[in-house]
A and B are shown apart, each in its own frame.
Chain A
Amino acid sequence: MLNLISFEASALGALGQLSLLGALALTLGGTWLAALGGFRADPRATEAARRATWAVFALVSLGTLVLMVALLRDDFSVRYVAEHSMRASPTWVKVTSLWGALEGSILLWTWLLSGYAFLLSLTLRRDALRPWALGAMFVSLLFFVGVCATVASPFTPLAQLPADGRGPNPALQNHWMMAVHPVLLYLGFVGLSVPFAYAVAALITGRLSDHWVVVTRRWTLTAWAFLTAAIVAGGWWSYETLGWGGYWAWDPVENASFIPWLLATAFLHSVQIQERRGLMRSWNVWLIVLAYASTVLGTFLNRSGIVQSVHAFAGGPVGPVFLGFLAFLLVLGIGLAAWRAPLLRDEADPPAPVSREGAFLAGNWLFLVFAVMVLIGTLFPTFVEALQGRRDTSVGPAFYNAFAIPLGLGLLLLMGLGPLLPWRRADGQSLWRALRPLLLAGLGVALVAFLLGVRAWGVLGTVALAAYNLAGLGLLTARAARQRGGDVFGLMREQPRRYGAYLAHAGLVVMALGIAFSGAYRQDAQVTLNVGAAPVRLLNETLALQGTRQDTKPYGNSAVARVLIDGQPFEARLNTYVQGGNTSFPAPAVRYGLLGDTYLVVTAFDPQGRWASVRLIESPLVSWIWWGTLIVVLGAGLTLLPPRRAPTRVPSVRTAPATD
């Protein structure tokens, strides 16, 4: 039996634990009420279930707040604080310690999930879906609140009160991005629980008409934008702190966040086919079940230590629990979809290959193949270990790049094609007319790039497809703007969905260029610099070490090297942390540039400060990845705005669809 609570040992801990246990009791009650509301069609029970989400949200918020207060007040009677925080840490690190280790990160997840449930309860329409959507949210909540209050409780009492805590994870003290990346990631992951809840409700009630799809698109888009930002933020953190000058290593846990992204991106497109044409019903249900399940799979991989990774925490009993939940979700989703299969048949013909929905469907297949391949690569070492008994096998980046580059190019090709094509069916001739300028732009730019010396086929392909995409989006926008007398902003206000999507596509093109160039043309060299020696030439730059110094802080120590690169000052640091022992964490000095970054890492120091070994990395267009992401997120935000009608035109009245 778990020793969960003790008032003598820790007042705050007991309060936190009580709030979580209270939330657990209310979640159980809410699940029961939602089921009652669903089975008996009892509106009062449904209403009570709706209110229960508010109470759960309030109690989980209280628990989270208690943990935050305990962290900030250095209350080491709370287990989590004793194990993952310490007095000397700066305040921002104490705040981020809330999700710096297993129990806290699950609490954050639970808190966000209860927040989403609360928001969902405010926006649900009074229809047959309502109790079931609430019920599905409650089932997710039941799992997370349950884990949080029992096997992974941050509040379980300690045997004895320590004088100071063990301190936070040093890798998480190195960069402010750690305050952002996990929160964004969980906002994305947890956000997918809402579309999942809608899908479950639609399946149970058999009301698979297109209302749930319309609502779900907005939720998915919000979650997707968070997820996009989170994945890139993680890449940026890696770039700024790990000192290898890269941002993506196909690490198992990076993959675990990428798989839901791929599936959610596919869903965003296939859901529009259902919205516009009423097709792909079963496909959408499957996709959203898999997307949500893949977030749980990602967390399982992350927390169970089943795969070797920089993110892997030893999760104790948490791994199997997550695996059980994953199995439950898959069985639930697959079972429901199989049971409702007769209702999921599409009435109309399958999408014509040359049409907008055809392009979406082809893109969906590519996303799916991409996700499956990434999953195989991620799990393969685990299989090898199980079958051959070899530990610690890993799949190198070469494996991933072999399929990621062609699939990425294929997606870029379809991405330019989709917006050009009409729904239903396109005739070959008009398609060819529309495609011609795009192909010319792509080929022309690729030729220019080739003459300028670009020889890597992946980069040439990316450049060509980037030009083709941007030409297509530009022409479509220009044509529409001409019809309106050149008012682009008016267009955006009238059709935010369309132009938001264009903007997001343009952002992805910018990202793709950044990824292609920084991947193919990154240069990397190492040298040892001596104080007062003649400058050294490295990668066409002159490097001179001006001096070194030590900055000592209570929580750690920084060795700083001042280097002049082509006359510009760089200060790169090597940080050691109290809990990190002798392990040093580099803080590179990066000079961001539009066409490329200069990235300097100190790799070793002379204890007397006479020399320092440095690594210089020059990567072209890396910043384009971050700027591109910003454009993507802005585009996603734009699509969520309500369309504003132009005052000059007669509004076209759209009747609201029936809900059954």
Chain B
Amino acid sequence: MTAPSPLPRARRHRRSPLPAALGVLALVALTAFIAFGNLGRSLEYFVTPTEYLQQRAEFEGRPLRIGGLVKAVRYDPQTLELKFNVTDGGATFPVEYRGAVSDLFKENQGVVVRGEFQGNTFHATELVVKHSEEYHVPQTQAELKDLLRQSE
């Protein structure tokens, strides 16, 4: 609510820049607040096991996606409990997930998992299947090697 101006109405030709300026200022402030506050925390980084090992302090307890090759799969379709190790050749971490996996999920296959680390174990909330841009099935091995090469 603005107080009525003391000037007679017809004399005000110039638009007051105040509302627009205030609006812009509020926009900038809100944006900055979110960009530096909330956004930093809700960013979900993609890491390889080696990167996690090196920068543990930064990533522990944060939402992450971790990518690597699948090793030592133990899956019980009746309880839907899945345990496997994810490795990039440099480091290996155990992953736990509850949910069905398709028969695509095999030893030595590339995988990207969403979740967070609790201690040494990665608790996965979702197995992300990496599709190539045309949804044709990726050559996961090659694609993963490519990923890993980029991360060195």
Q: Which A positions have Cβ atoms within 8 angstroms of B?
A: 101, 169-171, 305, 310, 312-314, 345-346, 349-350, 353-354, 365, 368-369, 372-373, 376-377, 380-381, 384, 390-396, 398-399, 402-403, 526-528, 530, 579-584, 603-607, 611, 613-615
Contacts and interface: CB of A to CB of B under 8 A. Distances in A.
Interface in B109-152: 129, 131, 133-137, 147, 150-151
A384 B35 CA distance: 12
A611 B133 contact: no
A171 B135 contact: yes
A399 B134 contact: no
Highest count of chain A CB atoms <10 Å: which of B30, B35, B46, B100: B100
A580 B77 contact: no
A613 B77 contact: yes
A120 B105 CA distance: 54
A314 B30 CA distance: 34
B78 interface: yes
Given A369-B30, A394-B65, A526 B98 contact: yes
A393 B44 contact: yes
Given A526-B98, A526-B99, A313 B65 contact: no
B1 A353 contact: yes
A583 B129 contact: yes
A394 B23 CA distance: 29
A604 B12 contact: no
Given A171-B135, A526-B80, 14 more contacts: A169-B134, A345-B15, A354-B1, A396-B42, A396-B43, A396-B63, A398-B42, A526-B99, A528-B78, A580-B135, A581-B137, A604-B77, A604-B100, A606-B77
A376 B131 contact: no
29 contacts: A169-B134, A169-B135, A313-B134, A349-B9, A369-B30, A373-B34, A380-B39, A380-B43, A390-B45, A390-B46, A391-B46, A391-B147, A391-B151, A394-B44, A394-B46, A396-B63, A399-B42, A402-B34, A403-B30, A526-B80, A526-B99, A527-B80, A580-B136, A583-B129, A584-B102, A603-B99, A604-B100, A604-B102, A605-B103
A373 B15 CA distance: 28
Given A583-B104, A604-B77, A611-B78, A312 B27 contact: no
A528 B81 CA distance: 11
Contacts of B27: 365, 368-369, 372
B38 interface: yes
Interface string B42-76: 11111000000000000000010100000000000
A461 B22 CA distance: 27
B31 A373 contact: yes
Place the interface of chain B in its size category.
35 or more
B100 A615 contact: yes
A526 B81 CA distance: 11
B12 to A, nearest CB: 6
A313 B45 contact: no
A373 to B, nearest CB: 7
Contact of A305 (B16, B30, B79, B133): B133
8 smallest CB-CB distances across A and B, nearest first, come from: A613-B100, A603-B100, A392-B46, A581-B137, A399-B42, A604-B100, A314-B133, A398-B42
Given A313-B133, A526-B100, A403 B34 contact: yes
Contacts of A399: 34, 38-39, 42-43
B90 interface: no
A396 B45 CA distance: 10
Highest count of chain B CB atoms <10 Å: which of A101, A350, A376: A350
A312 B133 contact: yes
Contacts of A528: 77-80, 100
A106 B137 CA distance: 24
A402 B43 CA distance: 13
Contacts of A530: 78
B15 A170 contact: no
B99 A393 contact: no
Contacts of B147: 391
A349 B19 CA distance: 12
A613 B2 CA distance: 62
Contacts of A313: 133-134
A45 B50 CA distance: 67
A582 B43 contact: no
Interface string B1-14: 11000000100100
Nearest to A315: B133
Contacts of B77: 528, 604, 606, 611, 613
B16 A350 contact: yes
Contact of B45 (A372, A393, A606): A393
A318 B83 CA distance: 42
Given A395-B39, A613-B80, A583 B46 contact: no
A170 B39 CA distance: 34
B1 A395 contact: no
A561 B79 CA distance: 19
Nearest to B37: A402
Contact of A580 (B35, B38, B63, B137): B137
A242 B99 CA distance: 16
B42 A395 contact: yes
A349 B12 contact: yes
A390 B47 CA distance: 9
B124 to A, nearest CB: 13
Nearest to A167: B136
A364 B15 CA distance: 19
B44 A395 contact: yes
A402 B38 contact: yes
B116 to A, nearest CB: 12
Nearest to B28: A372
A346 B15 contact: yes
A393 B134 CA distance: 21
A286 B15 CA distance: 18
Contacts of A171: 135
A350 B104 contact: no
B25 to A, nearest CB: 12
A313 B133 CA distance: 5
Interface string B86-109: 000000000000111111100000
Contact of B136 (A312, A390, A393, A581): A581
A393 B137 contact: no
Contacts of B102: 582, 584, 603-604
A384 B43 contact: yes
A581 B102 CA distance: 13
Nearest to B38: A402
Contacts of A346: 15
Contacts of B135: 169-171, 580, 583
Given A349-B9, A604-B101, A396 B131 contact: no
